[in-house]
Amino acid sequence: MPTDPFKSTPPVFPLTQLERMISGQPPADPLADAETIDQITPLGETPDSILALRAPRFMGEKSAEFEAVRDTFISLEDLFLEMEHQRAEEKADYARLWMPDADTTDADSRNRKKAEEIVNRAIEAMGGMDRLLQVRDIHTEIEIYNPRDFLWISSGERLFYQGRKFMENLLGGQTRGYDGERAWAYRYGISRPAHTELLKRQAERWDFISRFKGEGIVLHYLREVTLAGGESAHVIIGESAHVIQVDDRKYGVLREAYFSPTSHLLIAEKQHGVLTRVQEYRTVDGIKTPYEVQRYFRRFVSRYRFNTRFNTGLESSFFDDPGERTWDSNSMVALLGVRADSTMQVALSEITQIYTIWKDGDPADVIIRDESRHLLYVYLGKKLKSAGVLGDASSRYNVDVTIKGCYREAIDPRDPTYTINFHLVVVDKESTKPLLDRIVSHKWKSTLYPLIDQAIAERLTSMLVESIGYALASKNRG
């Protein structure tokens, strides 16, 4: 078959050879020889004006018998070489960062020195380096302002330990942390993806000193700006502010910091388009600490308060991975109402929601978020597993749960009442009639969002476990 010079074809490599290139280990089977390759991919007759190609025996190696033009496709070897070049350049940049400054009189050196002086004055204004270095752990309780109800509500807490460990508990049952070696994250006791690099940075950049004088931090004085007012309660309208660039080259974070030339305190920071302004400082154990801040992102403004305590005596083990939530086996067997054997295994399908058509005068369906449905599914599955009845797809019984309506019944937004209807079906695969086909309903009051939290999920799944146990028990009685 003639070779088309205008149509590219991928090179043919033996599978064992490709495996060796990927793994870096010798292949399990010997490579095919030239005759075998010719049998696999016959070349046929080729016009004299076109150079015939033989499949190379190794990556980047050409056959000695034929001479061919250079392949225009990017090979794996080229990609690896490019990657090595990039790594060498990154290491060179990192090395240049730590090289001594040969010229301390140039503009860059003067700007760095000026920025460092501004930071040093801020440290003295906060209470002094000695005072700040005495801090061993930090516990901060966070409040967020609710403009609709004109109330400050609890938003969570953050805990830091000696610049090595970190933990954060937020609304919605979210908790995550870094124990000095590994990161972990959970929502209502269910494991979630943990962003190790982010949490490690949170642990290390835990105080003012580490954020402005820590390893890999490079400061650069940018400019002076005139404040338009409202930046901080400690700033006079029309006063100038020093702006320095904080380049965290260890973690690849770049931000701008604004310092008052009068109080010398940090009054604002800007990062990723979000401007954070310190509205009020309070003195805690001799250290001036940001208490109230405002954050601006596009047209949105949010207000936070940070109630900070130092040296609370936190133990290192407090930051260990708590692990996923579990349920006691005996309690779940009692909740199920029947002790299972090998013939009473059930397969559990994902929980779904069917939206009803709204009619005038009826309450509209509330959409249950995917993460809330997943929470119900995981809790239900773990409870059935603890009770000894959770099987796999090959199990004799199948449990199907569908949300058929979730309504907000109360008109008063300060006291809403919700109703949820589960359509629960338990099917015996060896029978044409389901063991159970019923609606399981529940009402509760809540002003939280998301609507289903840990306590509600616990209550709803316990009701479903009881109903499933009733169906299995009726089969045994039958």
Per-residue model confidence (pLDDT) at position 182: 94
How many CB atoms sit inside 10 A of residue 361's CB?
Answer: 5
Task: Please check whether residue 419 lies inside any domain of the structure.
Answer: yes
**CB hemisphere CA count around 327 (13 angstroms):** 24
Domain match, 60 and 124 both: no
pLDDT digits (tens, 9 = 90+) for 63-85: 444 343 444 445 565 666 667 66
Residue 324 lies in a domain: no
The pLDDT, as a whole number, for residue 232 is: 45
Which two three-digit tokens encode residue 326?
């579990």
The last residue of one of the domains, among 301, 319, 337, is 319
Distance from the Cα of residue 422 to its chain's centroid: 31
Q: Output the domain CATH number for residue 356.
A: 3.40.50.10610
Range of the domain at 18: 1-99
CA 17 → CA 12, 81, 114, distances in Å?
10, 19, 59
The residue among 81, 99, 117 that closes a domain is 99
Residue 438 lies in a domain: yes
Indicate if 286 and 234 belong to the same structural domain. yes
- Tell me the average pLDDT across 314-331: 91
The answer to whether position 232 is within a domain reads yes
Q: Say what the pLDDT of residue 92 is.
A: 56
Residues 405 and 315 in one domain: no
Enumerate residues 6+ apart whose C-beta is below 8 A from 113.
104
Burial degree of 118 (CB within 10 A; 0-12, 13-18, 19+) = buried
CA 334 to chain centre: 37
- Total-model pTM: 0.67
DSSP label at residue 365: B
State whether the Cα torsion 328-333-334-335 is positive or negative: positive
**DSSP letter assigned to residue 343:** T
Residue 6 banded pLDDT, cuts 50, 70, 90? low
pLDDT at 212: 96
Mean pLDDT for the stretch of residues 272-283: 91
Which string of b and e fits 131-147 if b means at least 16 CB within 10 Å?
bbeebebbbbbbbebee
Work out the average pLDDT over 285-309. 92
Does residue 365 sit in the same domain as residue 347?
Answer: yes
Give the chain's count of helices (H) and strands (E). 10, 18
- What distance in Å separates the CA atoms of residue 127 and residue 281, rounded to the nearest whole number? 12
340 shares its domain with 278: no
In this predicted structure, the answer to whether residue 277 has a pLDDT above a threshold of 70 is yes
The pLDDT tens digits for 327-356 are: 989 999 999 988 877 788 999 999 999 877
* Residue 366 falls in which region: left (phi positive, over 0), alpha (psi -120 to 50) or beta: beta
pLDDT confidence bin for 357, thresholds 50/70/90: low
Average pLDDT over residues 323-328: 90
Q: Has residue 445 got a pLDDT over 80?
A: yes
The mean pLDDT value of the chain amounts to 80
Tens-place pLDDT, residues 392-443: 999 999 999 999 988 887 666 677 888 899 999 999 988 878 889 999 999 9
Highest mean pLDDT range out of 153-167, 291-305, 330-344, 362-376?
Answer: 153-167
Asked if pLDDT for residue 388 goes beyond 50, the answer is yes
Is the same domain home to 175 and 56?
A: no
- Is residue 194 helix, strand or coil? coil
- Is 254 contained in some domain? yes
End residue of a domain, out of 284, 319, 354: 319
Angstrom distance (rounded) from CA 440 to CA 462: 11
Q: Please tell me the distance from the alpha carbon of residue 266 to that of residue 331, in angstroms, as a whole number.
A: 54
Report the CATH number at residue 161: 2.50.20.10
Instruction: Give me the DSSP letters along 267-279.
Output: EEEEETTEEEEEE
Question: Is the model more confident about 147 or about 475?
Answer: 147
Residues 259 and 153 in one domain: yes
Question: Which are the contacts of 268, defined by CB distance < 8 A and separation ≥ 6?
Answer: 231, 232, 241, 257, 258, 275, 276, 277, 278
Return the higher-pLDDT residue of 246 and 24.
246
DSSP, res 409: -
For 189-215, what is each residue's pLDDT tens digit?
A: 998 899 999 999 999 999 999 999 999
Q: For residue 268, is pLDDT > 80?
A: yes
Query: Where is pLDDT greater, at 85 or 120?
Result: 120
Q: Are residues 296 and 370 in the same domain?
A: no
The rounded distance, in Å, linking the Cα atoms of 79 and 4 is: 27
| Same domain (yes/no): 123, 260 | yes
Within this chain, do residues 269 and 345 fall inside the same structural domain, yes or no? no
Cα–Cα distances (Å) from 421 to 314, 440, 459, 460, 471, in that order, read 45, 6, 14, 10, 18
Using pLDDT thresholds of 50, 70 and 90, give the confidence band for residue 11: low
169-190 pLDDT tens trace: 988 888 999 999 999 999 999 9
Non-local (6+) Cβ contacts of 221 within 8 A are 111, 112, 114, 115, 118, 242, 243, 244, 245
104-113 average pLDDT score: 79
Residue 246 has pLDDT above 50, yes or no: yes
Q: List the beta bridge partners of residue 440.
A: 422
Same domain, 165 and 58: no
Residue range 144-149: mean pLDDT, rounded: 85
- Judged against a pLDDT cut of 90, whether residue 378 lies above it is answered with yes
What's the number of domains the chain is made of?
3
Residue environment code for 191-224, b if the CB has 16+ CB neighbours within 10 A, otherwise e = eeebeeeebbbbbbbbbbbebbebeebebbbeee
Is the domain of 145 the same as that of 263? yes
